[in-house]
Amino acid sequence: MFGSTVLSAVERGTFVVYTAYALIFVATFLVMRFLVQEQEAREAEENLGETKNRKSSNSLVKATRPFFTQYFVPMIRGKPYWDTRRALYKRRIIAAGLREEFTPDEFIAFKIFLIFFFPLVGAVLTITGFLDIALWQLGIVAVGGWFFPDLWVRSRIRVRQAQVKRALPFVVDLLALSTEAGLDFVGAIGKVVEKAKPSPLIEELEQVLKEIKVGSSRAEGLREMAARLDMPEMSSLVAILISADQMGAPIGRTLRQQSDQIRVQRFTMAEKAGAAAAQKLMFPVILFILPAVFLLIFGPVALGFLGQGD
């Protein structure tokens, strides 16, 4: 009797201890969860405060930024799983000239957000009767939401690179004139940035000046510019300038030679584009214009023969 009483007391004491441990665990979990939620809320508020006045070149980005920055960016930030894509998207964002509009985490969050946003819009339009979209089509729309930002960024990159190609000969000429007038290369860049018409190339040269002012060498600044633009023409020009600088060759003469070479390359590319355009015109000419010419020439003759036959 006494032994069973003692045993039941021990069991009750063990139960109380384990219950206390469980309550401590639950309380600790709730406190940690509360702190994590508070931290996420503060980060979201800070992120919204930083991006509220940020300019957006895309109306969809501007309209949806408060949603994906507040609810999706905290899920992406700091996660090692996205490190590879984060580095890839950082390079593309910089090449597209969007480094003031997006961080890599925001870009990934925007892609994930569109996976849900596009099907939701399609479902709303289907319910309201504006469209008739099947369920499998909504799946395709969701996949398109993931790839849409990539297509947009690539189109921006192509446009920006075309603008750089157009401005490159003129800018190189100005750099050559400035260095031949007695300025050093960094001073020539500053003068060109000050006087030249704004363009993506001028923006990149301005970034080179900023990097040099904060301690980067001239070669490092030029290499970073070539990496940001991601163009063979710019990589070649930067490599030649760095080599000439290291060998002590006159920068002005090197720039003048590169300017002439760039103009020859542009002329060659224009000839190739003209030849390709002529080949592309052959099909509509044969299909549409030649039949009309034959009708104009031989139509009256055929009608004459038909009239004589009558």
pLDDT in tens, 101-120: 888 888 988 998 888 888 88
Per-residue pLDDT, 10: 44
- pLDDT by 10s per residue, the chain, length 310: 444 544 454 455 555 545 655 555 565 556 555 544 545 544 544 444 445 556 677 778 888 888 888 888 888 888 888 888 888 888 888 888 888 888 888 898 899 888 888 888 888 888 887 777 777 878 888 888 899 999 999 999 999 988 888 888 888 888 888 888 888 888 888 888 888 888 888 888 888 888 888 888 888 888 888 888 888 888 888 888 888 878 877 777 888 888 788 778 777 877 777 777 777 777 777 777 777 777 778 777 777 777 665 5
Domain spans, the chain = 9-53, 161-267
H helix runs in the chain, sequence order: 2-51, 59-71, 73-76, 83-95, 104-127, 135-180, 185-195, 200-213, 218-229, 232-247, 251-284, 290-309
| Per-residue confidence (pLDDT) for residue 31, from 0 to 100 | 52
CB-based contacts of 38-44 (< 8 A; 24+ apart in sequence): 40/74, 43/74, 43/77, 44/69, 44/70, 44/71, 44/73, 44/74
Helix (H, G, I), strand (E, B) or coil at 214: coil
pLDDT at 150: 92
For position 6, what pLDDT does the model report?
Answer: 40
pLDDT value, residue 181:
82
Give 161-267's CATH code, choosing from 1.20.81, 1.10.20, 2.60.120, 1.10.3470: 1.20.81
Res 13: pLDDT = 52
> Would you state the pLDDT for residue 26?
61
d(CA 294, CA 301): 11
The model's pTM: 0.68
Q: Looking at residue 137, what is its pLDDT?
A: 79
- Contact by Cβ (8 Å): 136, 119: no
pLDDT of 185 reads: 82
Residue 44 confidence (pLDDT): 47
Closest among 190, 196, 183, 185 to 209, alpha carbons compared: 190
Write down the pLDDT at residue 48: 45
Distances (CA, A) of 80 to 74, 105, 173, 286: 13, 12, 46, 58
| pLDDT of res. 215 | 83
